[in-house]
Homo-oligomer: A and B are copies of this chain.
Amino acid sequence: MENFDFCSPTHFVFGKDREREAGSYVKKYGGSRVLVHFGGQSAKKSGLLDRVTASLQQENLEYALLGGVKPNPRSGLVYEGIELCREKKIDFILAVGGGSVIDSAKAIAMGVEYDGDFWDFYSGKAKAAKAVPVGTVLTIAAAGSEGSGDSVITLEEGDYKRGASSDCIRPKFSILNPALTQTLPAYQTACGATDIMAHVFERYFTNTKDVEITDRLCEGILLTMLNEVPKVIANPDDYQARANIMWAGMVAHNNIVGVGREQDWNSHDLEHELSALYDVAHGAGLAVIMPAWMDYVSEHHDSMRMAQMAVRVFGCEMDFENPKATAKKGIQAFRRFLASIGMPVNFAELGAKKEDIPLLVEKHGVGDGKTGGFVALDRQAVTEIYELAAAAEI
C-alpha cells in the first residue's frame, strides 16, 4: 500500500422522502441565494423540482433555476451558469439530477470563483482551489459524483470530453433517495450500474502489491452489483435493491476503496471518445469498452489479478494449470452479465462504427506516447482495444 490522503467530508442524507429536507441542508451549509441546476423535463414532471423548491421556500431561501443539462454535459451551459451565478450573487449551487447535472454544477462552481476560462481546469492548465459550495439531490445511481471531487465536461468546440478533480468541489451534502431512481428506464438503470462497476474495476486493476483491504472492499461492491442489479431490471420498483445499488455507487467512487494504490482509468478515457462522438450513454460505452480492455490486458500482463477477479467476483473455478484461461472465463462472465441487464456487447449494438476507429484513436490523444496504468497503452494498443470492442461477441 502506498502513502495517501483521504478526506470525504460530504454529509450523506439517505432514504425515502429526504429531498424534502434539501432547504434545511442548504441553510445548514451556509447557502442563502441558490442556483437550482437540473436536466430536462423529468424533474419537473415527476414533481421532484417542486418538492425541492418548496423546501427552499420553507427556509426563506432565494433561488434561480437553470435547467437543460444533457447527458455528457457541455461547456455552453457551464458558461451560461457562471454568468447567471455572478449576476444573481449565488452562494450555493444545488444540483438536482444525475452525474451530468452534478458535474455541470461543479464546473459552474469552480468557474464562478475563477478569473480565467473554467476549461483551464479540464485541459489541465489550472487546478481549482476554490468553488461555490455544491449540494446534490441524486436521481440516478451511476457516476458517483455525489461523493467525489471529480467532474467531466465536454467542450463543444471539437467534442473533447475531459475531467477535472479538486477537493473543493466535493459536495457539502448529497441527498440520496433510492425511490427517485425507480422511475428510470431499465436501460438507464443498467448504464448506471455499468458505470459503478467500471469505477470499481478501474481501482481494482493495479500493479500496487499488498492491497488486500481495498481489494476485498472492491470485490464486495462488485458482488453486490451482481446480486442487486438483476432485481431492479426485473422489478423497477424494488426499493431495497435500488438502495443497495445507490450506496454502492457512492462507495465505489468516493475513493475509500481506491486509496493507497495505483489506479487505471484507461477504460474511462477510451469510452469518453465514444460518448463524445456518438452521444451514447457513458455506461453503454463502458459496457463495450471495459471487457475489450480486459481482453487486451489479459494478453499483455501476468493473468493472476484477472484470475482473482474471475474467482472471487464471478465465482469461476481457478484453473491452476492455466490462470489465463480462468481470467478469460471471468471476462466472458462479465460480458454475459452486462448483456443480461440489456447492455450492448459490441460497436454495432452500441451504434458505433468500426471505420471510425482511426478518428477515435486520433481524438483519444495518445499520440506517439503511452498512457500509464495497469498496462500502459500506446497508439497500437488503443487501436486494438477499439477493434476488440467492435468485434466482441458473447
Contact = CB atoms under 8 A, between A and B. Distances in A.
B240 A210 contact: yes
A366 interface: no
Interface stretch (A2-10, A36-44, A182-190, A297-305): A2-10
22 contacts: A1-B247, A2-B15, A4-B12, A4-B14, A5-B11, A6-B11, A7-B11, A9-B9, A15-B260, A211-B244, A212-B227, A213-B244, A213-B245, A213-B247, A213-B251, A216-B221, A216-B223, A217-B221, A217-B251, A220-B220, A243-B260, A247-B259
A237 interface: no
B1 A12 contact: no
Per CB-CB distance, the 6 closest pairs between chain A and chain B, nearest first, are: A3-B15, A216-B220, A210-B240, A9-B9, A220-B220, A7-B11
A7 B12 contact: yes
A18 B4 CA distance: 10
A197 to B, nearest CB: 13
Most buried by B among A12, A245, A247, A260: A247
A219 interface: yes
A245 B223 CA distance: 22
Given A6-B12, A7-B10, 12 more contacts: A1-B240, A1-B244, A3-B14, A3-B18, A5-B11, A6-B14, A210-B240, A212-B228, A213-B248, A216-B223, A217-B220, A217-B221
A374 to B, nearest CB: 19
Contacts of A210: 240-241, 243-244
A13 interface: yes
A12 B260 CA distance: 12
A213 B217 contact: no
A14 to B, nearest CB: 5
Interface of A: 1-16, 18, 178, 209-214, 216-217, 219-221, 223-224, 227-228, 240-241, 243-245, 247-248, 251, 256, 259-260
Contacts of A243: 1, 210, 260
Contacts of A211: 244
Number of copies of chain A assembled together: 2
Contacts of A7: 9-12
A348 to B, nearest CB: 34
A247 B5 CA distance: 12
B15 A4 contact: yes
A64 B217 CA distance: 40
A303 B339 CA distance: 36
A338 to B, nearest CB: 19
Nearest to A248: B213
Contacts of A220: 213, 216-217, 219-220
